[in-house]
Chain A
Amino acid sequence: MLNSVLSIAAPLILAAVAGYLPFRAGILNIGLEGLMALGAFFGFIAAAASGFWLMGVLAGSLAGAMAAAFFAWTVLRLEANIFLSGLGLNLAAAGFLGIASQMAFGTKGVLRPAILNTSRTFPPDHGIIPVLAAGFAFTALMLIMSKTRWGHRVIAAGEAPETLENLGHPVKMVRLQTLVLSGIGCGAAGALLALDIGAYVPNMTGGRGWIALVALYIAGKSPLGLLATVLLFSAANATATVLQGMTGIPDSLLLASPFFITFLGLVAAGALRTLAESRQRRKERDLTADEVRG
């Protein structure tokens, strides 16, 4: 169970970490899904052609970075609407991948190693690699955001862009950097997804980029909250998978449960926070009352 939770969570964490940076810098990157898809395609091809999974991850990251840089150009330079442009990135990625796959391999369908005339498969215990990568990315994020000057600059770009500009750091540059990093992270996430399966399947990202976005929104500014949200969602998913094997609960109904559980988690978190706040307020009031008396 823990294994499945982690393996579901790993690509989500990577994508969410990737989305976190531009999110914090004031740009919501709606295109995570498309970036992951590009990473999956190029990651698979490079890994299958070279036989090294690491090559796949590198190629996926590179593809993601380039697409993200293009996205950055549209929103930072052309000043296109962030939401529409992100939607455009997703559409363009889907369109581009279909055409590229058709031109290079004669099919828009599943790509297996055999299509590149290799029978190379990826290491059998590869399932651990995405988990390690996710763990590394998350730890790096925590350190960067709390300890480094660059991380603080990202926060400033999101919360007080004028001020950051005034300090001599071009806001657009910081945003560009976070976007490119998000491309790298999503590309790697997509590549690992494909390498985990050992094949490229069109649409195989299956909405993971969107889920990462939701997790970002739920967690807000807190990286730990982000981790908790992703883990909660993954646990709900893993539970649904196991429950499908037991009779009684309609299978397709269980597909709603990850959203439902996350929704309930959100309600619970909100209710708890509200409760805590009102208690805090009461405490403060008691304090003053004492002081006034004393």
Chain B
Amino acid sequence: MPDSGGSIRARNIHKYFNHGEVKALDGAGINLRRGEIHGLLGENGSGKTTLVRCIAGMTRPDSGEILMDGIPAARHNRSKVSGKIAYIPQHPRLVPSLTVQEFLHLGMNPAGQGRDEAAGKIRRISERLRIDLPLATRGNRVPANLVTATMIVEALLKAPDFLILDEPSTSFTPLETENLFSLLQELAAEGMGILIVSHKIREVRQLAHRLTLLRKGKSIAETEARDLSLEEISRILMGTGDRAAELTPSSPGGICLEVRNLSKRSRESFIRNISFSLRRGEILALSGIRENGLDCLERILNASVQPDSGEILMAGGTPYPREPERIKMAGIAMVPSDRLESGAALGLPVMENAAVLVRKELSRYGILGEKKKESYTRELLSEYGISAHPRSLTSALSGGMLQRLILGREILSASGLVILCEPAWGLDVKGRLEVYQRILSLRDRGAGILLLASDIDEVLEIADRLLVLYNGEITAGFQRDQFDHGRIGEAMLGICGTGDGK
């Protein structure tokens, strides 16, 4: 590992929210050197995002010290350090009305760089990332993985000294993740300092040279990556080993969702002639690259668009709801993939988001007091290990906590059909395990669970059956005993196809 000497040191950082009620950082610190890949690990809500935002100058710590190359950064704000420290946030967003091309020019150093020169640079960097950016597409039409890719290209255009990535691979396919990681290794070798936040401990441990572990806002360890085993890391982080969910064989019952010859073409993506059926008591996963049909299917299932042809039926042949309002009335539990937009009202208190599905049960003659909502919410919060007050704003939740809240809310009131889109996004190891356990017990109680996920690892852990979507069509199907990481990955990329696991 070439060490060119420079570094960012953050020491004893404190950051409080809500007038000191929430301690996000309570003496955290990190030491990021040039030329290294540094992993930042921690439970949901442990303060990872807050810490990296402080380092990137997006948030100002309440106290503590940040040194760049040994010099105290007097006013460490974003506009000062943006040329040196690039930052890819946990939920990256492009500018909806600007094309990717326009976006990439936004942040460039105005001095020098003619258009051609800039275009050449953009091309070279995206080639290194092995990704084709849709340069002429407007920001609101760019799929999630390409948003992250665009942000990374943008960041690298400035040739920063340090690169910080907050859970960058959540929206990536395995191949994209692989490409990203090898690029990061090259960059580190060239002398860039890289800080990566992730819940995928296995991956990070392989990639990173050194690790910092965070618990409850404190840095509890900073070590060479190979000095700690996976088990040790998980034990240090949350006192459990990295176990897999305990799988029991499924015993499928009657059909609860039947999709026949479904086709839909829209500007972003399309599906063609999709048919499958889901039985009670089983977990069926549909997997693939999101814009290869997964997102289109999700939009049809949450009734925000209508299919062009084909039909969807539920148990007993009743048609699937065609209006969003009717989904919940039809007894379907659903976790959407865009949690911020469809999953919660971020501007309202946590309890208003938690109690929404049981609001009718909690109320009497149309009267619904706050106490009832609050006590219901307290239960949900403790059950799912969410550290938040029922009355605090939902927007203050960390990424993983928000996901737990949404999952918990939906699973608690689920019975028949359950549709889960990317359920493990942003969850830490422990949270994932807990959620899988709950999904399995839901299945064992006779619910039919449809899993839409682009992350194969997730799918492999709990699905009973797996269908692969490629280019809008179902190209392969696998039963649990046929699961094979490599073959499934190839099917997702359209390299091969097998059987039909219908």
Q: Which residues of A contact B (CB under 8 A)?
A: 149, 152-153, 155-156, 159-160, 162-170, 173, 221, 284-285, 287-289, 291-292
Q: Give the secondary structure class of A's interface.
A: helix
Q: Is the CB of B92 within 8 A of A163?
A: yes
B107's partner among A155, A168, A287 (CB-CB below 8 A) is: A168
Nearest chain-A residue to B87 (Cβ)? Answer: A166
- B183 close to chain A: CB less than 8 A: no
Report if A152-B106 is in contact (Cβ < 8 Å); known contacts: A288-B270, A288-B308: yes
Interface string of B296-309 (1 = CB under 8 A from A): 00000000000011
Chain B residue with Cβ nearest A165: B78
Known contacts: A165-B78, A167-B154, A288-B308. The answer to whether A155 contacts B97 by CB under 8 A is: yes
Bound Cα distance from A156 to B264, whole angstroms: 32
Q: Once the chains bind, are B94 and A160 in contact (CB under 8 Å)? A: yes
- CB of B106 within 8 A of CB of A153, answer yes
The answer to whether A163 touches B82 (Cβ under 8 A) is: no
**Known A168-B107, A288-B270, A292-B263; contact A152-B308, beta-carbon cutoff 8 A:** no
**Given A284-B308, A288-B264, A292-B263, A166–B82 Cβ distance below 8 Å?**
yes
Taking a contact as CB atoms under 8 Å apart, the answer to whether B107 and A160 are in contact is no
Contact A167 B96 (CB under 8 A): no
Which of chain B's residues 75-102 have a Cβ closer than 8 Å to chain A? 77-79, 82-83, 87, 89, 92-98, 102
Chain B nearest CB, measured from A241 CB (Å): 38
Chain B contact-residue range equals 20 to 34
Q: Which residues of B contact A292 (CB under 8 A)?
A: 263, 272-273, 309
Whose C-beta in chain A lies nearest to the C-beta of B105?
A: A149
Given A221-B97, A288-B308: A162 in contact with B265 (beta carbons within 8 A): no
- Contacts A152-B98, A289-B308 known; A166 to B265 CB distance under 8 Å? no
Q: Does B266 contact A (CB under 8 A)?
A: yes
Question: Can you name the residue of chain B whose Cβ is closest to the Cβ of A221?
Answer: B97
Residues of B contacting A168 with CB < 8 Å? 78-79, 82-83, 107
Smallest beta-carbon distance A214→chain B, Å: 22
Tell me if B110 is interfacial: C-beta within 8 Å of chain A.
yes
Given the contacts A166-B82, A292-B263, A149 and B94 also touching, CB distance less than 8 Å: no
Closest-CB distance, A228 to chain B (whole angstroms): 19
> Is B414's beta carbon under 8 Å from chain A?
no
Chain B residue nearest to A155 (CB atoms) is: B97
B314 at interface (Cβ–Cβ under 8 A)? no
Bound Cα distance from A13 to B98, whole angstroms: 25
A56 to B264, CA, bound (A): 61
Q: A280's closest neighbor in chain B, by CB?
A: B267
A153 to B97 Cα, complex, angstroms: 11
A289 to B103 alpha-carbon distance, docked (Å): 36
CA A240 to CA B264, docked complex, whole Å = 50
Q: Which 5 A-B pairs have the closest CB atoms?
A: A168-B82, A167-B107, A288-B265, A288-B308, A156-B95
Quick check: is B313 within 8 A (CB to CB) of the other chain?
no
Specify which of B95, B154, B266 is in contact with A284 (CB 8 Å cutoff).
Answer: B266
Query: Bound complex: CA of A159 vs CA of B264, how far in Å?
Result: 30
A166 lies within 8 A of B58 (CB): yes
CB pair A162 B89 closer than 8 Å: yes
Using an 8 Å CB-CB cutoff, how does the interface string of B132-152 with A read, 1 for contact, 0 for none? 000000010000000000000
A167 contact set on B, CB distance < 8 A: 82, 106-107, 154
Interface pairs (9), CB distance under 8 Å? A152-B98, A152-B105, A160-B94, A166-B87, A169-B106, A288-B270, A289-B309, A291-B265, A292-B309
Cα A289 to Cα B307 in complex, Å, equals 11
Contact B93 A152 (CB under 8 A): no
**Across the interface, which residues of B come within 8 angstroms of A164, CB to CB?**
95, 106
* Contact residues in A for B263 (Cβ distance below 8 Å): 288, 292
- The answer to whether B89 and A160 touch across the interface, beta carbons within 8 angstroms, is no
Bound CA span A169–B154, Å:
14
Residue of B nearest to A285 (CB): B308
* A152 and B82 within 8 A (CB): no
Which residues in A have their C-beta under 8 angstroms from that of B108?
A: 149
A160 touches B309 (CB 8 A): no
Query: Which residues of chain B are near A221, meaning CB under 8 Å?
Result: 97
* Closest residue on chain A to residue B92 by CB atoms: A163
A173 to B102, CA, bound (A): 20
Closest beta carbon of chain B to A254's beta carbon, Å: 39
A162 to B89, CA, bound (A): 10
Q: What's the minimum C-beta distance from B71 to chain A, rounded to whole angstroms?
A: 19
* Nearest CB on A from B309, distance (A): 6
Extra pairs beyond A169-B79, A170-B78, A288-B309 (10, CB < 8 Å): A156-B103, A163-B95, A164-B95, A168-B82, A168-B107, A169-B107, A170-B77, A170-B79, A173-B79, A284-B266
Q: CA of A287 to CA of B270 in the docked complex: distance in angstroms?
A: 12
How far is it, in angstroms, between the C-alpha of A164 and the C-alpha of B154 when the chains are bound? 12
Report the separation of the CA atoms of residues A137 and B98 in the bound assembly, to the nearest whole angstrom: 23
